[in-house]
Amino acid sequence: MGRFGKRDDLVVHEQEPFNAETGIESLSDPVTGTDAFYVRSHGVVPEIDGEAWRLRVDGMVGRELSLSLETLREAFRERTVTATLQCAGYRRSRLMAIRDIPGEAPWGPGATGTAVWTGVALADVLALGGPLPGASDVGFEGADLSPEAKPVQRFGGSIPLDKASRSEVLLAWAMNGEPLAPVHGAPLRVVVPGYIGARSIKWLERIELRPEPWAGYFQHVAYRLVPPDGTPGPGVGMPLGLVALNSEILSPRDGDTVPAGPTEVRGFAFAGGDRYVARVDVSIDAGASWRQADLLDDLGRWAWRHWRITVDLAPGPHDLLVRAWDSSAATQPEHDAALWNPKGYVNNARPRICVRAEAA
């Protein structure tokens, strides 16, 4: 086992703060093991006294709250949601291969994972506080200090009150049936299905009802999509929220040599927001023709869909290409190059690998 009880096959991008992505083999599991789940951190894991910890709810509320974990467990109905989280920098490495992106980690396909989250609905806690007229956003603040922020500040962000009022948004204390590990946000974290992982704030200490989105560094400066010719800065570009439709080929891998003949190709697809994966197509001839793959177990509205297909590979090289479709009839862009941006966000181009089939 590696640091924080993680498997040794995680791809570690940074030791402090700890940032690591899931090994590709572990993404084949319908639910990602906690010991394999990716970690995105902007500061050191804070040390929190669970007994003394309290969750503050303030801002535009009729009644301010200070809630212990025990109170949350006893006063509200327990809920469970199976949800996929995905880093906003997912597959940034492919964009870096086109043009350098200084200061950013080269996240690959392992910056995602699906877990079973347990806690209480954020909506139930907000209802107890009583949002006042004019409140439009719900802000979250964690206990972790980030030295990369200017000025140095705690990690935070917000989501619209409309989303926060839906039953799938959790204040979670458990992951895959076990209490949250410190590296994943113990004692309590937010889980916002369909949104970038940066909105699922870890080590949650404060919820604020607000008349506008969070004004802190990580929403106003860092997590924004800047045009290719733009320069990142406060308020520049578009704030990131909903996850873009994406997919990945898990097997075979790029550069593999496989026996000619029937070959199983498998992977996953994920659609953020309120959308769901409706279809996945696979090409073995660089997009000249396509076949529809089989969608596997449906884990629910907020989770990825694994898929598989058996294709017949003649001896020689093959360019395998995948395109997912979501419930809005949207599909993935064709090429990474058109998506390059100065922060390396939202790379949802169709995954492509090259394999060689050899006769036995």
Same domain membership, residue 257 and residue 197: no
Tell me, yes or no, whether 308 and 264 share the same domain.
Answer: yes
Percent of the chain exceeding pLDDT 90 equals 99
Task: With cut-offs at 50, 70 and 90, classify the pLDDT of residue 360.
Answer: confident
d(CA 64, CA 265): 53
What's the helix, strand, coil split of the chain in %, to 5? 15, 40, 50
Phi (first) and psi of residue 60, to 5 degrees? -85, 65
Are 96 and 49 within one domain?
A: yes
Same domain, 26 and 164: yes
Greater model confidence, 92 or 2: 92
Q: Which amino acid is at 306?
A: H
Average pLDDT score over residue span 349-360: 95
Residue 281 has pLDDT above 80, yes or no: yes
The predicted pLDDT at position 2 comes to 81
Reply yes or no on whether the pLDDT at 81 is more than 90: yes
Return d(Cα 347, Cα 228) in angstroms, integer: 13
Picking from 239, 274, 303, the residue at the C-terminal end of a domain is 239
Of 63, 197, 71, 220, the C-alpha closest to 131 is 63
Give the residue-averaged pLDDT of 238-265: 97
Do 79 and 94 share a domain, yes or no? yes
**284 shares a domain with 179:** no
For the residues 3-27, what does the mean pLDDT come to? 96
CATH number of the domain within which 92 lies: 3.90.420.10
Number of domains observed in the structure of the chain: 2
Give the mean pLDDT of 1-27. Answer: 94
**Residue 1 pLDDT greater than 80, yes or no:** no
Give the pLDDT of residue 56: 98
- Enter the pTM of the model: 0.96
Domain around 150? 3-239
Longest pairwise C-alpha distance within the chain: 73
| Distances from the Cα of 204 to the Cα of 75, 126, 169, angstroms | 18, 15, 14
Clarify whether residues 47 and 161 are in a common domain: yes
Q: Please identify, among 206, 224, 239, the residue that sits at the C-terminal boundary of a domain.
A: 239
Beta carbons of 156 and 141 less than 8 angstroms apart: yes
Structure confidence at residue 48 as a pLDDT band (50, 70, 90): very high
Give the side-chain half-sphere CA count within 13 A for 74: 5
Out of 176, 206, 239, a domain closes at 239
Q: Kindly state the tokens that stand for 348.
A: 């949802």
The verdict on 257 and 156 lying in the same domain is no
Give me the residue label for tokens 């839906």: 166
